[in-house]
Structure 1
Amino acid sequence: MSNMDTSKEKRRSILQFFFDKGKNASQAAEIVNSVYGPDTVTVNHAQFWFRRFRSGNYDVKDAPRCGRPIVENVDKIMKIVESDRHASTNSIAQELKIAQKTVWNHLKKAGYTKKFDVWVPHELTKKDLLDRISICESLLNRNKIDPFLKRMVIADEKWITYSNVKRKWEWSNDSELIQTVSKPGLKAKKVLLCVWWDWQGIIHYELLPYGQILNTDLYCQQLDRLKEAIAQKRPDLVNSSGIVFHLDYTRPHTSIVTRQKLRELGWEVILHPPYSPDLAPSDYHLFLSMANYLGGEEMASREACENRLTQFFANKDKVFYEGGVMMLPLQWQKVIEQDGEYLTQIG
């Protein structure tokens, strides 16, 4: 039954059925994908619809409206956010040719906010909070018994825009957000950075060609290139008691093919709770510093982007990278002390 075709309305109705049955979003997505095939419904998408159901909105149809249907807009916005956790409301608005305020309102109604430049649910569910506490306790206890941070390789991606205008965010009142906006209809040029690093520095990175996105096949090819880079730059890791791989829950990372590839490489994937940029060194450390470095930059080409990134990585010494990784136990401890809630400060 893996090749069955399911309409959007049917998928939403199935999710509503499992919501009524008392299942959580992750369980519902797993069941749907086991019947209709992998990636029929992502966990993020299921969680979005479960939040709608909890708010009392059980409408699963795309009602005809003037212009783009609201549900269609929401679906497309959420699809972009799922594929690019760092997407700005401005870039989403330009891509979909809708008002930036519309994007902001949809994300706000869906319960999303930005933490460390990453879209996450504004209010974590009880299960999310318990998962964060449980995983942090597990990692903290393991690291005390068998320190593994110096065996950890961190994987992540971030879109790099050619134009990096420094924007100032401020609230004028409860409903209006003031932000500098680019010319309407202008689609920002950007390229995807894929980077792998550890406590000693950058191991490998790739800046994809303009217009190319990451998929499972490409990611598995990148893992082979990463293996070669580790052998050259970190031979001690190859001969150690095993590489611990840190990655988040974006689709190319969690596909069955990717998981199988990581098993073939013999790399252990460390536990990481979803919606937790405050526990991801790339988000709370590397990418924040990178954004400050590139702030105000106007780059004419992909090559210019790559040159600036090369300079950024080279200008950071071992102390910088080590600080970002070795901060993790403190982050885990704080999450436990704050009952799973997001951290408002780093370190």
Structure 2
Amino acid sequence: MFEPHGPKRLSDIVTGDETWFLFFIIPPKRLNRMWVDGQGDRHVVLRPGFQSRKTMFTVFFNYSGPLVVDILPQDTTMTATYYVQSVLSQVKSVINEQRQKVSTSRTLYLHDIAGPHKARATTQSLWELGIQVLPHPAYSPRLGTM
């Protein structure tokens, strides 16, 4: 498929994945300062007001760099419906802008085998767009040593 003068080029591949980013609010050191005398024990301060939150980012890119960065709204779950309506629609519009002369049928799509990626709604949407999905390589710790 990728042979010289073959039907596909590496520049046709679009890939992406999701990841969680954790945000921590840690108070400054000056809030933990206190004076203690020789007999007194220092109070233990365990990060007062410690809060953490996490946000899921979905990033798609091709040979030229990032195409789409989608941030999952708070209190939302990544589902096939969200993936198709929010993420894939953005990817499709960016591909169409970049390749005005070439249809999306040249696009090769590579993503992992997470639930929303292999759901019927996702595969149906990709098929309707004419985007070919590349098979995900097998997970094997021995692949790196061969």
Q: Shared fold (TM-score greater than 0.5)?
A: yes
Q: Does 1:143 align with 2:39?
A: no
Write the mapping of 1:55-66 to structure 2, written as runs, cut at 5 A.
Answer: none
The code of the aligned residue for 2:13 comes to M
Partners of 2:127 and 2:59 lie apart in 1 by: 20
Partners of 1:237 and 1:246 lie apart in 2 by: 22
Q: Does 1:156 align with 2:27?
A: no
Partner-residue secondary structure (3-state), 1:143: coil
The code of the aligned residue for 1:270 comes to L
The code of the aligned residue for 1:341 comes to R
Partner-residue secondary structure (3-state), 2:137: coil
Distance change in 2, residues 1:187/1:248 (3 Å): farther
Deviation at 1:243, TM superposition (A): 0.3
Distance change in 2, residues 1:341/1:259 (3 Å): same
Partners of 2:101 and 2:14 lie apart in 1 by: 10
Please report the TM-score for the alignment, with normalisation by the length of structure 1.
0.31
1:247, 1:272 within 8 Å by CA — same for their partners in 2?
yes
Match of 2:93 among 222, 228, 233: 228
Gapped regions of structure 2 (runs ≥ 5): 25-46
Partner-residue secondary structure (3-state), 1:249: coil
Deviation at 1:258, TM superposition (A): 0.8
Gapped regions of structure 1 (runs ≥ 5): 1-141, 164-182, 277-339
Partners of 1:263 and 1:193 lie apart in 2 by: 25
Deviation at 1:225, TM superposition (A): 2.2
Deviation at 1:264, TM superposition (A): 0.3
The residue aligned with 1:331 is none
Larger RCO (CA under 8 A, 6+ residues apart):
2
Give the RMSD, CA atoms, in angstroms: 2.8
| Percentage of matched positions with identical amino acids | 27
In terms of Rg, which structure is larger?
A: 2
The code of the aligned residue for 2:118 comes to T
Write the mapping of 1:330-341 to structure 2, written as runs, cut at 5 A.
Answer: 341=142
Q: Does 1:215 align with 2:91?
A: no
1:237, 1:243 within 8 Å by CA — same for their partners in 2?
no
Deviation at 1:257, TM superposition (A): 1.3
Deviation at 1:187, TM superposition (A): 7.8
Deviation at 1:239, TM superposition (A): 3.9
Partners of 1:192 and 1:238 lie apart in 2 by: 32
Q: Does 1:193 align with 2:57?
A: yes
Deviation at 1:210, TM superposition (A): 2.4
Write the mapping of 1:28-43 to structure 2, written as runs, cut at 5 A.
Answer: none
Partners of 1:160 and 1:237 lie apart in 2 by: 37
1:193, 1:208 within 8 Å by CA — same for their partners in 2?
yes
